[in-house]
A = this chain, B = another copy of it.
């Protein structure tokens, strides 16, 4: 008996949606060779009629209607946004449809509710495309590292930010200048807030942290700092010291002094050693470094955005579902797929997410001082009194005004202590301006 084709509805025909249509046109042969099951698009959700879409595919703007159709097995939501997209996905789930989405904002903010509903209706909401584009980081963390205890991960998960920092370093250009170019190239939105303030990265980090540690999605607890305050001056000093500044999302499991575990979720610019692979991920590319026991460090690199990369991730999810739907019993099939957040929903735990105050990291400090005798001694004394250990000091030649920047790199310290020390340093007579601080991580295994 010939099996029925698996039918897809694609909601949204922007860059990603069009990429999925094109992928299915170009690679259908390879796909069928792998699964033995025909896969076809039966519906597309689009506001305006498109002439470049195969005539056999139904086009409609009525998304709520599309997802209830009998000739839809899998709904692919690639329109973005957190309002209509949410309503449509919930409607699809309630009608027993599997969902594949690239919508990181929606899942980071409403994923707990959506995944619970999907479990209730015995369907899956797959989301490989929502983090790091074409890099299969969701599958890797949920399945390939599933026998590991994940200690931490650090990722370049926003291509726009990485493009800007790469240009600043390679060409000595200023932030605003590169941002304008990124907007012209289409790498950055007209309103670049989500990218340059780290919100997009925080959405993705929320998802990564949950599947790494088995905790509910907690976007509101991510500490988030963007790249808007990074100057070419700091990029240059970092380089002189053998470091590069990358905008990283960190999810870190920590043993606390009281014996409990705590989790740090933070997105911020970070100095990392320039011989680390992660430091050499340039332009719009993404990469995620995972440190887990017993596998050690593994890293995953690729295009974080774009039609082809995102369509590849969307279709990887579809392929998993096609295999599941090809099982004799659909109920069985679903039970064979990995849990939404890698861990069974009843086994997610409430490990405390640490406040910014409690987080620990190394720091790069740039202190602008009057060229006085003794100021360096005063600063190092303050640091020493706060139990902050200095790793390196770089004093630059005096400017015309007799002011010099002093660069100090310190070993990992609790943010609370760092804040106290900085307040004292800023109170010194010889210190002009606020202290510039950027986190620093050696990425030690």
Contacts and interface: CB of A to CB of B under 8 A. Distances in A.
Interface stretch (A105-113, A328-336, A357-365): A328-336
Given A30-B148, A147-B27, A148-B30, A298 B336 contact: no
A393 interface: no
Nearest to A134: B295
A436 interface: no
Interface in A4-34: 19, 22-23, 26-27, 30-34
Contacts of A298: 134-136, 300-303
A19 B294 contact: yes
A316 B34 contact: no
Nearest to A339: B34
A315 to B, nearest CB: 3
Q: How large is the interface on A (under 10, 10 to 19, 20 to 34, 35 or more residues)?
A: 35 or more
Contacts of A329: 328-329, 332
A227 interface: no
A149 interface: yes
Contacts of A338: 323
A61 interface: no
A140 B134 CA distance: 11
Interface in A142-175: 143-149
A328 to B, nearest CB: 5
B300 A300 contact: yes
B336 A327 contact: yes
A326 interface: yes
Given A139-B143, A312-B147, A297 B302 contact: yes
A295 to B, nearest CB: 4
Contact of A295 (B31, B275, B303, B327): B303
Interface stretch (A256-264, A340-348, A377-385, A400-408): A340-348
- Minimum-distance CB pairs A-B, first 4: A294-B308, A136-B144, A147-B315, A298-B302
10 contacts: A26-B293, A32-B347, A36-B344, A136-B140, A295-B309, A299-B302, A323-B338, A327-B335, A328-B332, A333-B336
